[in-house]
Structure 1
Amino acid sequence: MTRHTRPAPRALTAIAALAAAAFGAPLAAQEPLAVEPQYRTFVPKENPNEDGIDYSIWTEAMKNLVVSMGPSLREGAGRPDPSFGSRRQYGHVSRYRLEGSRVMFSFLDDKVIDSFTEYRRDLEATANKVDIQKLSRNEQLAYWINLHNVAVVEQIAKQWPVRQPREMEVDGVKLDEAKFITVEGVALSPRDIREKIVYPNWRDPKVIYGFWRGEIGGPSIQREAFNAENVARLLEKGASEFVNSLRGTEKSGDTLEVSELYKEAAPFYFPDFENDLRAHLRKYARPEVIAILDDTTATRASIREWDIADLAGGVREPTYQNIQNAQGQQVSFRIPQSMARLLAQREQKFQKIIREGRTGTITFSNLSLPGEEGEEEDGEVK
């Protein structure tokens, strides 16, 4: 298979210095929805070739910048105490703060942030060298998910600190609607990639779990880039994590409360919202969520959490605290008190998982931050 790539930006390859597989079956080609004229050029073609795109540099970046908070315990986190010596509440206060994953935006310097822009432009330019529409369907899907997520990471990194990414603007337009991405001469927004290209042409609803919004309330960003071999596996992983989390499903009396993201995707995947969504959730639900599905008769898309999915809560806290390594030794690097508190709560959560002998995906609690040695493992194991 031909692998198309170019030398990665040096700043991007240096991201590793900031922090000291199963193969999925191809997603089935189903009858696509009608596509608006300006986006028809992106409809997958028949008789795909064997070309591919190498995203290994994005995997390297994500392994060192993304922190997994581990599987949901379906227990809302209580409101934390204010930072020491202040009545102000820094950091994350969301009841979902111990779910999903976090990007370490607060540790990025200008050179690394610029490299995100360079890499996004590299991916755009790839479409001028490779016939994207002639790639295998999994290869195409990986391209669109990676381009979308690289672009969102880039823009949040450029404007950080920010509390809620949905309030960000690019040239006066809200981030999700801003057409700052250009592929084959067509200007696209993150929403265009999802709703004008992927959703109409990939009819399996699990694709919604590949797209990162920068918000705690959305699907997790993965610690590896998508590619033709892992796209099905990563989407299954993202679907299982989200469906079984509090930010995905909750029970309120006789009502199944679900994420607002499902209502957004309903025109494409859940036209009969009540029945179609419940059938979808049941595919990934674990016993506790299955019980909720069985014990409720109504469905309401009402769960939301728009706070940024980073470690610092989108603010620069003026107070700092020394941290210890896994051996309990003091290290010289200091982090904000609110971040230290969040990481301590993360550790307590993992200890509870171990004590209760929960099965499934185990997330190791060893976490490297800038100034420490890098992780040798990807932090997760089946």
Structure 2
Amino acid sequence: MSGGHPALDATLLRQFLVERDVPVVGDLRIDLISGGKSNLTFSVRDDESHWVVRRPPTSGLTPSAHDMNREWAVTSALQSTDVPVAPTVAIDSDGDVLGAPFTVVGFVGGQVIRTADDLKSLSDNDVERNIDGLVETLARLHDVDHVAVGLGEFGRPDGFAARQVKLWARQWGHVKTRELDDVDRLVAALSERIPTDTRNTIVHGDYRVDNTIISADDAGVVRAVVDWEMSTLGDPLTDIALMCVYRRPGFDRVVGFEAAWTSDRYPSVDEIAQRYATRTGRDLGDWDFYLALANLKLGVIAEGITHRARAGAASEGAETAAEATAEFIAAGLGQLSGATRG
């Protein structure tokens, strides 16, 4: 079978699909779409069908990350909603086939706007439509009745913000490549400012333009939201805040290239937040807390990328991603002191 990859055995995958009554015509052709910093994503074709397979990285795993069962649960539940997701096909939840869990979903055509060069294909009107489509899609996700779609036990939404602070502090302990006292300072400051008036929804946990597939013909139409490995039930303001903090220029160092999402062609953090507030009709609460928490999360994510690179999961820019960590942590501290915006 052609186009294989060390992390995805074509023979084993074909057997897995056939055993689950998925029609397979001819050999499988496998190509790596993306990988290294997050789950590995593969394009898989036979003579008639086109799928996408996702599995965790082959090294440097950390607790709670790369959760294939989580991705499967939420995307399966969202099939009946107006939140666009890829059609689910099959899952190996135990990792019996490849030695790690993986999911198979239908391929969704369109375009992914990931790099600054990708963004050049969009006119200013396209970019305006795109941000409206992104905000609208996130608002639709937060409008879903999670109990009605079978996700009532998907997470523990009560006390979500406090647990997020503890989670990312704990994650820092797993991935830190050096000591950084400001992380402890930020965790302490956040712990003293946990919001009490919150609502609970499905949250994506990693929402930005390149975690969507948009229509090739209309940048305002999101055809699928992807990369659900961090999804759970919790405070929706954590989603919009992280979406905004990803706009910081330091994110380019995290991903190792000039990202589309950091471009000044997109609206400012404040404008994106206001569009979300207007669309949902909801108050943004202690917005500085949410931005500070998002900065903590992204700082730890940056550190984790370098941690995994040193464990063998090499990818472009991964060894230097942690150079951005201090910037995000400092921004979080500044947010809580009122010294920064966004």
- What TM-score comes out, normalization by structure 1 length? 0.26
Larger RCO of the pair (alpha carbons < 8 Å, separation 6+): 1
Instruction: Decide which structure has the larger Cα Rg and report it.
Output: 1
- What TM-score comes out, normalization by structure 2 length? 0.28
